[in-house]
Amino acid sequence: MTEVDFLEVTLRVPARADTVFPYFTEPDRHTQWMGSRAVLDPVPGGIYRVQMHDGVKAMGEFVDVDPPHRIAFTWWTKESAAAPGHTRVVVTLDPAGDGTQLALRHYDVPGEERAQLREMWQEALRRLAVHARG
């Protein structure tokens, strides 16, 4: 894997990492910022399933869960050119003053899907920041 094999979205969230982390692991919080329904089992090998508002279903499994600093999961949708389990999302949460610096890297996204996924993650993470702020 080379450095060009991922897209990255970063933002500062006005909440501590221990407040932000559950938005990736608890279904009720996850659907506040992304999706209309979520089934999440945040342990390595656990289920990651999110139904988006437009009906698209993201599927995968958790790969790494290190609360409240790092979480990784595979990501696939029927609409993707990538094979199931091929792309991986890694989120890191680092302290930044009284908030958190969130970095999301989505690895091995097919080139034709990068712009759309970057836009989707940017919009979704902005919603996460609003909800995490309270």
Domain ranges of the chain: 3-133
Give the bridge partners for 47, in sequence order: 61
Q: Is the whole model's pTM more than 0.85, yes or no?
A: yes
Q: Where are the beta strands (DSSP E) in the chain?
A: 6-13, 37-40, 47-51, 57-66, 70-75, 87-96, 99-107
Confidence of residue 3 (pLDDT cuts 50, 70, 90): very low
pLDDT digit string, tens, across residues 32-83 = 999 999 999 999 999 999 999 888 899 999 999 999 999 999 999 888 888 7
Query: Taking 70 as the threshold, does the pLDDT of residue 13 lie above it?
Result: yes
Query: 3-133, which class in CATH?
Result: alpha beta
Lowest mean pLDDT across 48-52, 96-100, 108-112: 108-112
Query: Taking 80 as the threshold, does the pLDDT of residue 1 lie above it?
Result: no
